Amino acid sequence: MNIIEKELREILGDRAFLGSIIVQFITISMLLFLYDTYSEVMHSPNLNGKVIVAVDKNNTELISRLEDSGVKVILQNASGFEKPNAVINTTTGEVKTDPGNIFSGFAIAKINSVSKAISFDEALQKGNFSYSSENLAGGNTDFVEMGYGLIVPIALVMPAMVGLSLSIQNILSERKKRTIELLLVSPISDFDIAFAKTAPYVLSSTICGSAWLVVVMQKIPVYNAPLLIIAELLLSLILVSLSVLISASARSIQEANVLSSLAGMIFVFSILLPSSYASLYLPTILISRISSNFPDEGIVIGLALLAAAGLLCFWLAVKGVGRMRRSYS
Amino acid sequence: MGLGVMTWWGLKGIFSDRRFLLSVIVGMLISLFTIPLLMDAVGRFKEGNLLSALPISEKMVKVAVVGEHPLIAELENNSMVEIVRVDEETAMRLLNEGKVHGVFIVNATSGRFIGRSIPLSNLAESAVKDAVDKFMRKDNKLLFNLKSDLGLEELLRSLLAPFLMLTPLFIWSLPVIQSVAYERENKVVEVIFASPTRRVEVLASKVLSNLIFSMLLGAVWMLLVPFFGLHFSNPIGVYVILISMALLVIMMNALVSSIASNANEATLASSISSTIIITLFFSIAILKVFPATEIAAKLSPATYIAEQVSGQGTPFPFNLMLVIYIISATAFLLALSAFSTESFAFSLKPGLSQLYEGMMEILRSKNKAAFAMGFVAFSITLPVELVAIGLTFFLIGPSAFLLLLSATAAEEGLKAVALNVLKPTHLKEGAVLGALVGLAFGLSESLLLAPVFELMILIRIAPIIVHSVCSSIVGAGYAKRYFALSVILAILLHMGYNLYLIRYAMGMR
């Protein structure tokens, strides 16, 4: 307990940790600002002529739908100084955008939305099918995926990654200063040492993650906050235990740094993997599902797998400490 | 011991660390497999939503389905949706309890979606509408073929390519930290310093062995990358850029390892400096997105790699490479200065004045040191100017005058810092040292900004003179104890010239 207290005091006094909190806060604030601004702009019925789309002929249905969504429509080759963000060729269905204009993304989103609406009406007519909907949320919901799929996972993954990087530096520094030897020759068990080196970082990451969750909840209605905090705790346990394992078994600082870089690369790699049955249990997707769904069997299995991975990593960290102790003795 | 022997020794050290080599290989493999995954994700970026490119919304919404219709199979194919088949009463109960985001009641001729008035219900409804659309149309053809919009997609692809290409540099350039910072902690360098070997040879051998290691890995990397989907118009040009960037990162790592007081600090500082270098070049490359700043994107080697990936046969940026070599040489000189100080042996962090002392020991002339300090000031100016411009932009707004003023103040300020280190004692010395600082700064800037290398002196003679004169004023001002006043005067003079230049350019247009 004394070691945990000492480690916690060191973390709180660590400038790198305090700096990382500021960086994390700025990142989350920026993401929420973008989320809010983009939603506002997309929802605005009149984009003040900022989003301009050119069409090649006078297609009244298309033009009226685009105008209803707040887009200014001009005819292609019309005289004037306005430069369109996108040009639609209604004959071939091709759309060309101007990547140089920041509003081109909005133009594509609006065209996509109108395209879907026209296509849907045609499909209903073709299939002789009637469709109605009720109790939908008002306002723009184009960025719901970004909120739950990106901002919430980032808010929880970032503190865990910071925990990994800080705990690696902590053990490496103790190895270098040889203060770790005092612990290794003492009658404290491998489990206790690994726990003392892991718990403070897991705790600080979880507290940070919970704080970011409160910030995120001001803009995004997140569900199952307690489960998300458990997910954060388990994710931090996995990453911090891995860092204890890496820093205990690496032969040099260089090797430890390379291995921690590899851990980060593997994490990015896993996010890019194409959709499959296994992707449901990837930490980022699990967090996204917990934040948007009522707890179900899939979420319980996901959390159980995360807990199992956490315990396995912690067990490996204990073994790593044992190996370090044997090498010193 | 000669340079060759020590370089060979360093190389043997790198190659004998099998665990490090294995980690490097694993890192390269991960990066290689990331290329097709990321490029595929960019390929899916076609519906106006970057998120559709990544599998982040897996089973994000749950829909209770009441009734039978073949279109439900389409809904089941949507990875974003999880469906539960129940009767109407159960479905409404689940909806009221908040266990599903919507209920879809369907029969042969009609469909009704009931949500919970929350944003996620809208997401579920859009998935239901997509399924109805796909099933009723019997094909996936959309009204507008957004796939053919190659503008944003190609841009993103070409911007990501250099980033992917340069990622392994972080790991390739680690051995120099090991051999400088870690060997100092292990007292190995003390043994080397005791031998009759010059310190410049010791440091150069460490840098050279890491560079050769990076060159070998770079060659392997260039051979493998095309198999994973990245093809270049001029692979040799891209290889030269890659190795030049490796040289820059190695030199920066050598510098931070020589300055840092321990290996941990060196590693942390190295990751920060590498991130700054890559982010800086990446940020400059992104400027090509905006037509007004497209020309500025040429200041980044990443732009050349992006152009090579998109099949453009653009000429090799010789002047840009020369600038990178100047910055690398400057970093080496500073590293050597730190390496030559007494602080290095005692693992103490040297201050600017101690670095200057180390530099004086190497160059043995105040004039040469002033010329070198001009290059140092220039090497730091790019990130500082970007930060200054960025801060002005976000805090005040896009005022062309203020943006120009912040850039000018950053340049003159950095040259003034160099003169503050040189500490000229009398007027003539201050003017000469200032002129030399400004000359080195102006020459480097001209190398970077000259449209054609051969025309550099002809076109850039006036800016070089302006830099020399402004710094000369600051140097003289320092000697006469009017330092702050002279810096303000230099900024005003430089600003006046810049405004005249802009007005002239606008008049020409």
- Specify the pLDDT at position B384: 83
Extract the tokens encoding B421: 């280190």
Q: Region A96-102: what's the mean pLDDT?
A: 64
Please give the model's pTM, rounded to 2 decimal places. 0.70
Alpha-carbon gap, residue B121 to B102, rounded angstroms: 6
Per-residue pLDDT of chain B (509 residues; tens, 9 = 90+): 678 888 898 889 888 888 788 888 888 888 888 887 777 766 665 544 455 555 667 788 889 999 888 888 888 888 788 888 999 899 999 888 888 889 999 888 888 999 888 888 888 888 888 888 888 876 655 556 554 444 556 666 666 778 788 888 888 888 888 888 877 777 777 777 777 778 888 889 999 999 999 999 999 999 998 888 788 888 899 999 999 999 999 999 888 888 877 776 777 777 777 777 777 777 777 766 665 566 777 778 888 888 887 777 788 888 888 888 988 998 898 888 888 776 666 656 677 777 787 888 788 888 888 898 898 888 888 778 877 877 777 677 667 788 888 889 999 999 999 898 888 988 999 999 999 999 999 888 888 777 655 566 667 788 889 999 999 999 999 998 889 999 999 999 999 998 888 777 666 55
Crossing angle of helices A15-43/A104-127, nearest 10°? 50
Domains in chain A: boundaries: 2-37+143-328, 45-127
Q: Is B59 helix (H, G, I), strand (E, B) or coil?
A: coil
Alpha-carbon gap, residue A52 to A72, rounded angstroms: 5
Chain B residue with CA closest to A268: the answer is: B34
Extract the tokens encoding B356: 């200057």
What are B189-197's contacts with CB under 8 Å, separation 24+?
B189/B345, B190/B345, B193/B345, B195/B1, B197/B1, B197/B6
- Specify the pLDDT at position B292: 59
Nearest to A149 among B56, B112, B125 (CB): B56
Nearest to A272 among B38, B126, B152 (CB): B38
B49: chain A residues, CB-CB within 8 Å: 109, 112, 142, 145
Phi then psi for A174, rounded to 5 degrees?
-70, -35
Distance from CA of B234 to the nearest CA of A (A): 25
B151: chain A residues, CB-CB within 8 Å: 96-99, 104
Which pairing describes strands A130-134 and B110-115: parallel, antiparallel, or unpaired? parallel
Q: Could you give the domains of chain B?
A: 1-47+154-364 (no CATH), 57-137 (3.40.190.10), 377-509 (no CATH)
* Residue closest to B436 by CA, chosen among B423, B419, B458, B461: B419
* Residues pairing with A53 in the sheet: A73, A86
**Residue A116 to residue B262, Cβ atoms within 8 A:** no
Q: Which amino acid is located at B226 in the chain?
A: P
Please answer whether residues B173 and B274 qualify as being in contact, where contact means their C-beta atoms are separated by less than 8 angstroms. Answer: yes
Please answer whether residues A189 and A273 qualify as being in contact, where contact means their C-beta atoms are separated by less than 8 angstroms. Answer: no
- Specify the pLDDT at position B250: 92
**Residue B40 to residue A93, Cβ atoms within 8 A:** no
Alpha-carbon gap, residue B439 to B455, rounded angstroms: 17
* Residues pairing with A132 in the sheet: B112
Alpha-carbon gap, residue B507 to B145, rounded angstroms: 44
- Specify the pLDDT at position B153: 60
Chain B residue with CA closest to A16: the answer is: B268
Extract the tokens encoding A292: 């948007």
Q: Is B111 helix (H, G, I), strand (E, B) or coil?
A: strand
Chain B interface, best mutation among A92, A113, A253, A296, by max B CB count within 10 A: A253
